Amino acid sequence: MDLHDLRREYLMGELRRADLCEDPHDQFAKWMQQAFDMEVVDPPAMTIATVDANGMPSQRIVLLKHFDASGFVFYTSYASHKGRDLDSNPNISLHFPWHSVERQVRVSGVAERLSVEDSQRYFHSRPRGSQLAAAVSPQSQVVASRDALEAAFAELDKRTEGTEVPCPSTWGGYRVRATQIEFWQGGANRLHNRFRYTREGSSWRIERLAP
C-alpha cells in the first residue's frame, strides 16, 4: 500500500476565537453534542496516555462516562497497566480523535480516584454481564486461556444468581481534572485551527497555536 500520495483536504469548518466558550468544558460539551449530531462513531471513546515509573508512555482507548466542570470520568481496573501507571504518576492525557468532522480534542491533567461509593454505584448500574466480566478479569495480567476466563465468568454467574455481583475493590473510576484543553479543527492547505485553554486559578487563558 502506498500512503505517500494520499492527500485529504480539511474543509469542513473554521474555528475562530469568537466561536469559543470561555470555559473549555462548555466548549467540549458543545463539540461532543455536535459529534453525536454529525454521527461521529463512538464520540466518547478516547485514547488515554499514561506514563510508568520509568518514564515509558502507553496508550489505550477507554470510554468517557461523564464530564462536567470538575473533570472527565472513566472506569477501569486500578490494578491494570494504566492503574499502576497512575499510582506512580497521576499525570494523564486524553485524546478524542473525531476524524469524520476533522476535529480532535486533547486534554492534559491529573487523575484522581472516585470515591468507592461512586465507583460501586456506577458498577451496579452496568449490565450484569459487564459486571461479571469486570469481576473475573484481572485486567492486563496474563491469563491461561479464553476457556479459563469463560469458566470463571460462568462460575461467578452461578454463585451470585439472584444477588448482586460484588464490585471488586480493584475496580473503579478516575476523574481527570484538566489543566490544559486543546481544540483542533482542520483547515484548508493544512493551515489548521488550534486553540489551547490553560487553567489559571478559577479562569482559563485562551491562546491560538500554530498548526
Ligand X SMILES: Cc1cc2nc3c(=O)[nH]c(=O)nc-3n(C[C@H](O)[C@H](O)[C@H](O)COP(=O)(O)O)c2cc1C
Footprint of ligand X (CB under 6 A):
45, 58, 60-63, 74-76, 80-82, 139-140
Q: What are the residues facing 195 on neighbouring strands? A: 183, 208
H or E stretch at 200: strand 193-200
Task: State whether residue 156 is helix, strand or coil.
Answer: helix
Please, which residue, 45 or 206, has the CB nearer to ligand X? 45
94 φ/ψ angles, rounded to the nearest 5 degrees? -115, 145
Task: Identify the CA nearest to 62 among candidates 41, 76, 78, 80.
Answer: 76
Least spacing, CB of residue 58 vs ligand X, in Å: 6
Q: Write the CA distances from 168 to 16, 17, 111, 129, integer angstroms.
A: 46, 46, 20, 14
Least spacing, CB of residue 126 vs ligand X, in Å: 10
H or E stretch at 116: helix 116-125
Catalytic positions: 190
Please, which residue, 84 or 192, has the CB nearer to ligand X? 84
Distance separating alpha carbons of residues 107 and 183, to the nearest angstrom: 9
Least spacing, CB of residue 75 vs ligand X, in Å: 6
Least spacing, CB of residue 134 vs ligand X, in Å: 8
